[in-house]
Amino acid sequence: MTTSISNPPEDQIRAKALALGFDLCRFTDIDEGWISAKRLAEFVNSGRHGEMAWLAETVERRSNPRAMWPDARSAIVLGMNYGPDHDPLALLARPTKGAISVYAQGDDYHELIKSRLKTLARWLQSQFGGELKVFVDTAPLLEKPLAERAGLGWQGKHTNLVSREFGSWLFLGSILTTLDLNPDPGETTTCGTCHACLDVCPTQAFPAPNQLDARRCISYLTIELKGPIPTEFREALGNRIYGCDDCLAVCPWNKFAAVAAEQKLHARPSLEAPSLAELARLNDAQFRSLFTKSPIKRIGRARFIRNVLYAIGNSGEPTLAVEAEQLLNDASELVRGAAVWALSRLLEPGHFKALREAHRSLEQDQQVLAEWCAYA
């Protein structure tokens, strides 16, 4: 270490992290083997990761932080509260609006947290030396078990982190370092007999407590899945067009949650309750413009409009059929297929049949043709 100091390094690092806007900063060693490595292997071996091939490809490196970086000695785990100022479930009762997961209603947290982590890392190195690497949800590092080990919270029965101080709403970031830092006590699971998160899941994505089948999870289906969402899940999507907060929002530990202090994590007014009709009309340039600096931009217009169309199909609002009808000739087969499904739900059978006769002979894509035929 390069400086003579009176306070322990951990106290100084924590003070600096809080000054940078983090809400929690705790430390852990990374010596022991992890039960989470076994859980991840089981998750991947059972195919529950779906199309997320990157998870299967990095199982070995995710087994322990040292598997990724053998020189690492300690982890600094940071949390930033993104607690909403509204009930995230309230919008589900307004079917002509699109429900976007709380984490995606503000600016992209990856960029925000990464820049703060880098500032902290530069300061850390100037004060204490050592080598380090920073992580925000993108590298093969199991951040939730690391956070549990450092005492930021515990992995609830829905597998997400629950914090005594902030409930369900914590973004995580980590710094691995070659420094030996004093570990904080870990957190223990405090779910008790509660199973509210398992019961509320609209698609029954939890085969058992602490197990997630991502292939059934609305977050996976609306964000990660590239093709059409399987028909069996479409109705359960309701008006959720990007992610799902149900299991997070019902957790009783949210009674301790606070509204995010960081303004950039607050919902943009345009994304709090966007009109499905207006979203359905976005062209590619408008999509990119609306979602500048938003994590939603990553999935691209076609996947997003697919989700909007499923929500339109679930709206029960016949006046929205015109929005779906205008997308029957869209350049994306993903969009065309979802438009067919939406129309099959909103139009009178005779009207749907007439549209099918008009479009079927022009359609080249087999999946879209299958959609037309499925709802004859």
83 and 258 Cβ atoms separated by less than 8 Å: yes
Among 207, 227, 252, 318, binds ligand SF4 (CB under 6 A): 252
* Cα–Cα distance for residue pair 63/142, rounded to 1 Å: 8
Nearer to ligand SF4, 50 or 209 (CB): 209
157 is an interface residue for ligand SF4 by CB under 6 A: yes
| φ, ψ at 211 (rounded to 5°) | -130, 130
257 is an interface residue for ligand SF4 by CB under 6 A: no
48 is an interface residue for ligand SF4 by CB under 6 A: no
Among 24, 212, 237, 250, binds ligand SF4 (CB under 6 A): 250
Q: Locate the DSSP E strands across the chain.
A: 24-29, 74-81, 99-100, 132-135, 154-155, 161-162, 170-177, 240-242
144 is an interface residue for ligand SF4 by CB under 6 A: no
158 is an interface residue for ligand SF4 by CB under 6 A: yes
312 and 327 Cβ atoms separated by less than 8 Å: no
Nearer to ligand SF4, 9 or 145 (CB): 145
Nearer to ligand SF4, 162 or 265 (CB): 162
99-100/240-242 β-pairing: parallel
Count other Cβ atoms within 10 Å, centred on residue 131: 13
Of the candidates 35, 39, 63, the one whose C-alpha atom is nearest the C-alpha of residue 49 is 39
The set of residues, in sequence order, having a beta carbon less than 8 Å from that of 96 and lying 6+ positions away, is 239, 275, 276, 277, 315, 317, 320
62 is an interface residue for ligand SF4 by CB under 6 A: no
Shortest spacing between CB 250 and ligand SF4, in angstroms: 6
Residue 138 DSSP SS3: coil
Q: Which residue has the tokens 């007999």?
A: 193
Shortest spacing between CB 212 and ligand SF4, in angstroms: 12
64 and 30 Cβ atoms separated by less than 8 Å: yes
Nearer to ligand SF4, 194 or 282 (CB): 194
Count other Cβ atoms within 10 Å, centred on residue 299: 20
Instruction: Single out the segment in contact with ligand SF4 by CB under 6 A; choices: 118-126, 153-161, 173-181, 297-305.
Output: 153-161
Instruction: Single out the segment in contact with ligand SF4 by CB under 6 A; choices: 98-106, 244-252, 262-270, 346-354.
Output: 244-252
The set of residues, in sequence order, having a beta carbon less than 8 Å from that of 233 and lying 6+ positions away, is 203, 216, 218, 221
206 is an interface residue for ligand SF4 by CB under 6 A: no
Shortest spacing between CB 301 and ligand SF4, in angstroms: 34
Instruction: Single out the segment in contact with ligand SF4 by CB under 6 A; choices: 246-254, 273-281, 340-348, 366-374.
Output: 246-254
CA atoms within 13 A on the CB side of 59: 15
356 is an interface residue for ligand SF4 by CB under 6 A: no
Give the tokens for residue 226: 């590239």
**How many residues make contact with ligand SF4 (CB under 6 A)?**
13
Instruction: Single out the segment in contact with ligand SF4 by CB under 6 A; choices: 64-72, 115-123, 157-165, 288-296.
Output: 157-165
Residues annotated as catalytic are 137
* Cα–Cα distance for residue pair 66/189, rounded to 1 Å: 25
Per-residue x/- marks for ligand SF4, 215-234, CB under 6 A?
--------------------
Per-residue x/- marks for ligand SF4, 170-199, CB under 6 A?
---------------------x--xxxx--
74-81/24-29 β-pairing: antiparallel
The set of residues, in sequence order, having a beta carbon less than 8 Å from that of 15 and lying 6+ positions away, is none
Q: Which residue is nearest to ligand SF4 (CB)?
A: 156
Instruction: Single out the segment in contact with ligand SF4 by CB under 6 A; choices: 150-158, 235-243, 291-299, 306-314.
Output: 150-158
Binding site for ligand SF4 (CB under 6 A): 156-158, 162, 191, 194-197, 250-253
